[in-house]
Structure 1
Amino acid sequence: MSDTTESGRLHVLKAIEDGWEGFTKAPMSFVLFTLLSGALGLIFQVMSHGAAIRSSAGSGFNPGTVLLMIVAVIGSTVISLWAVTGLIRGAWKALSGHKPSFNDFTRWDGKAAGRLFINQVVLAIVLAIILVIAIAIGWGLLQINQVLAVIPGLVAGIVFLYLGVNQKFLPFIAIVEEGNPLDNIQSGRDVVDPSWWWMLLLLVVEVVILGIGLLLNGVGLLVASPLVICISTAAYRQLFGTEDQTGFLSEH
């Protein structure tokens, strides 16, 4: 694992300041790439919606509809991975004192995208297991008392909140650090837990920034989204250090 900061605690205000400074190094590149990736993602979402409408029409099995849905799902996934890896690369370079070029954002890194995808799938499986266990216990308690059946749901909600906060940096860990998905999830817990409440505060701030962007007719998200990535990258570098163990930032 990379070296952590001396205090071992997240400094939210510094992360926001550093993130803003990083964003201002190449604001047009950040905005244009966000616009490009968002537009491409929207195309596949429209395809998925169209396939869903055709499927709900009740015309029976249609190979064309199935193919359209498969293409839409794969396309959306690829664009999402491309967008996340591109924005993280741009933010990382900006925070390192460099002005990222548009090519830094658009360059595809299949290995990084693959690591990111696998780590996200593993985390989703972990959350699904927790949910299934909570439902099973809740169903059993429901046979005894309806009030008791609520307890597993509350516990699961608390666990989801806890993991949602300490796994915020999983995409960064997956991209720039070595290790298998379970080790990466544990790494997030080990490093973030001492700053858990500060991390929760950072998440609230980021949600507010995204909310403001959404209120500005949605266009504000073109600035808010990459800005949040820059802030998150700055926060990650505070806690985990700046070492690139996988060569993600190297020129290909």
Structure 2
Amino acid sequence: MDKSSNAYTFIFAIIMVIVVGSVLAFASISLKDRQNANVKQEKMQNILYTVGVDSIEQNGELVPLTRPLAEANFKKYITNQIALNNKGEVIAEGDKAFNVDLAKELGKDDNEQQFPLYEAEVDGEKYYIIPLRGTGLWDAIWGYISLKDDVNTVKGVVFDHKGETTGLGGEITKAWFQERFADEKIFDSSGNLVGVSVVKGYGGGNNKDDNAVDAISGATITGDGVTKMISKRLKYYLPYFKQQTDMKVAVK
């Protein structure tokens, strides 16, 4: 066939598309298991981060909590994994609860959603970890918030995002911002669940009882997204918390 002909060019293009497409498809299938494992390990790592487990002792030395180490030590600290319905009833446990995809759940009606909840014990202290998901300026934001055993005081948070602006909304992933939430309260003085608000121009200093933290400069919409995400997701867990007779805080 004449290599300068249109037919040759057309056939060559078709062959290249098929070859490249096949290679990409094969690579995607081959890497799928590894990608799923990475997602699982990162999820475990973030859950453990919220309760202060950011390092593991090995051979007498503390080493950073890598993703493989998070998976290996997850059940050492996470004592219970459950999923609730919007009535506070347990409808799944163990791996079934862990595998709930919150991104998909948000597309369902409230009475069809599953709400994962993790219980942890670290150095004799009990914690409850709740997954979060909401919307920032450009796209989805998500994370985890852990509560101390009074179900009121925040132990820690982890936030992430899909498309927030670097240096602005993207700063929600930074430790300096997340550390602001430590020891904040999610109930007000009257026992109403209000979450923790990200407030522009916040002047409360180190007040941990005002349900608020200072916002990120230039990232008001992302901060508002964090505020709404926390309060909305936590409220789904109120029915369950109200049913627990050993809770130390009165909830309304």
TM-score of the aligned structures, taking structure 2 as reference length: 0.29
User: Which structure has the highest strand share of the two?
Assistant: 2
- TM-score, length-normalised on structure 1? 0.29
Q: Which has the higher helix share?
A: 1
Tell which has more relative contact order, 1 or 2 (C-alpha 8 A, sep 6+).
Answer: 1
Larger radius of gyration: 2
